[in-house]
Amino acid sequence: MADVGKAFLQLGLEEADRDAVRFIWLKDIKEPWSQENVQVYRFCRVAFGVISSPFLLAATIRHHLRQSGEKVAYEIEENVYADNVLMEATSTKEAQEKCRMAKKIFKDALMNLREFTSNDQLINDEFADEGQKETVKFLGNPWNTQRDVIMVRLPPVEESGNYTKRQVLKIIASIYDPLGLLAPAVLPAKQFFQELWTKEYSWDQRLSEEDEKRWKRLTLTLADRPIQLPRKLFQPMQEEELEIHTFVNASAIVYAKVVNLKQTTETGATFTFVYTKS
């Protein structure tokens, strides 16, 4: 995995389009705002946060990848998300070759492909930035490259003397879990929030003493306990059959699905969890 350094700032704006991204700044920041102390500037580069910026970045990267014609460029095109580049290899040598070629492709586009991170220590020693930590963010989730595990952690729940429906929703919504690993722990909290609607609480109305006690018990299950799972689904084999198994179910309270991957080899079958949603 690698990252394009200062990706948006690598894209220039046509001069005719720069009036669309004007902004106001003070001539002297030590002086208060006034008509005489205001200066209008224009962005010369694609600005971070503009709604069209992610598309412009993606289209530019795709253009340069297709111009390259290298085999690894096609792999990157299928596995690039914003400024994050993902690649895979079956050996250290293959990984080294891909990393070198990827850096060259982006260098030719005047972009710096940096912050290489791998579960192979030899790759990290050669390409990783100085001082890079062994635990990095992998599309939002912490990834420990030494143990090659993805970690999901529930946010700490702060004690409050006046719980409201708004606070309950804020805590539930703050949980970042794209793979659904925390679904069993989060589901009771979502069910509790549903019940608050049936009781017609207003957003900032304090919960009853009984509901506050229930919520405090539920937050004990949302304690700051990290969950870890192997990043690698299974060990690739020469002779194997792969099947995706999806299970769905519904009740009066919740509907959910879970996706597993089955690998069948000469020695038997292995099931691996992939994703769940409820």
Q: How far is CA 129 from the centre of its chain?
A: 21
Q: Is residue 32 situated within a structural domain? A: no
Residues 204 and 273 in one domain: no
Give the domain-ending residue among 207, 228, 249.
228
Give the domain-ending residue among 146, 179, 208.
146
CA nearest neighbour of 8 among 39, 73, 41, 52: 52
Alpha-carbon distance 229 to 249, whole Å?
24
10 Å CB burial of residue 117 (0-12, 13-18, 19+) is buried
Q: What is the pLDDT of residues 52-74, one digit of tens each?
A: 999 999 999 999 999 998 999 99
Residues 178 and 266 in one domain: no
Q: Is residue 271 situated within a structural domain? A: yes
Q: Is residue 44 situated within a structural domain? A: no
| Percentage of the residues of the chain whose pLDDT score is greater than 90 | 56
Residues 172 and 221 in one domain: yes
Q: What is the pLDDT of residues 124-180, one digit of tens each?
A: 888 877 667 788 887 778 888 889 888 887 777 777 778 899 999 998 988 888 888
How is the chain split among helix, strand and coil, in percent rounded to 5? Answer: 35, 25, 40
Q: Are 223 and 235 in contact (CB under 8 A)?
A: no
Please check the confidence at residue 194 and state whether its pLDDT lies above 80.
yes
Q: What is the pLDDT of residues 211-261, one digit of tens each?
A: 999 998 888 776 666 788 888 888 777 778 999 999 999 988 889 999 999
Q: Is residue 83 situated within a structural domain? A: yes
Q: Are 106 and 4 in contact (CB under 8 A)?
A: yes
Q: What is the pLDDT of residues 12-45, one digit of tens each?
A: 999 999 999 999 999 999 999 899 999 999 999 9
Q: Is residue 102 situated within a structural domain? A: yes
Number of folded domains in the chain?
A: 3
Residue 49's φ and ψ, nearest 5 degrees, are 105, -15
Alpha-carbon distance 92 to 70, whole Å?
19
Q: Is residue 22 situated within a structural domain? A: no
Q: Is residue 13 situated within a structural domain? A: no
Residues 177 and 130 in one domain: no
Which pLDDT score is estimated for 228? 83
Which pLDDT score is estimated for 168? 92
Alpha-carbon distance 127 to 89, whole Å?
15
Give the structural domain span for 224: 165-228
Give the domain-ending residue among 146, 175, 204.
146
Residues 179 and 204 in one domain: yes
Residues 55 and 80 in one domain: yes
Q: Is residue 31 situated within a structural domain? A: no
